[in-house]
Amino acid sequence: MAQETLLPLSKFIGAKFSLSDASPEFALDDDEAEFMLEILEGVDWSEPICLFGEYAIRQHSAWTEGGNVGIFHGSDIVGFYEGPNLWVRPDHRRLGLAIPLILSAAKLRGGSVLPPDFDTQGYSPAGLLAHTVAHLQTLLCAIKRGEPIPEEVLREYNIQDAGEFIRMFGAKTIEDLTCCQPVKT
């Protein structure tokens, strides 16, 4: 995986991240996703690159754009981030699985979720929320690991010092935060 880079939210998800720009029309519907799953069942997936509880994130390079990831429960793919499309199976939704998909894709794409050659992408309201939460989780996991937070990131959150996040969320919350665990090779 590429070196993790903590970018400001506007660069992490692209400049177009206003709620007024979010639309349900940007959501990948389940029928489209099922078609994509049929294709993804035929690609060669890597060994796990990250573990999230009982789920594993894997990547593939079946096509030229990089940073394509799937989340697996055992040998079953239950979600993916392909190009600009994020999707999780209905029976695995509301478990927080979009977050490790988003974070893994961003890590593979150099810190942003935008696929190569994209300046922006559209988001459904739920997708925008998931991406915003994923960015905040990246920031809080970096604080948990004792990593410095770039000033540009703090400025976009209108925060002067990363310690303000600890006071805001509480040290125990940050300590208990589940951060995707990279698999040691």
Instruction: Compare 64 and 135 and report the one with higher pLDDT.
Output: 135
pTM above 0.75, yes or no: yes
**Token pair recorded at residue 105:** 């894709």
At 120, is the pLDDT very low, low, confident or very high (cuts 50, 70, 90)? confident
What values do phi and psi take at 87, rounded to 5?
Answer: -155, 145
pLDDT at 150 over 90: yes
pLDDT in tens, 13-35: 886 667 778 888 888 899 999 99
pLDDT at 111 over 70: yes
The tally of domains found in the chain comes to: 1
Mean of the per-residue pLDDT values for the chain?
A: 88
Question: Does residue 50 belong to any structural domain of this protein?
Answer: yes
Polymer length in residues for the chain: 185
- Per the structure, the complete domain to which residue 43 belongs is given by 9-182
Question: Does residue 2 belong to any structural domain of this protein?
Answer: no
Question: Does residue 48 belong to any structural domain of this protein?
Answer: yes
Average pLDDT of 97-117?
89
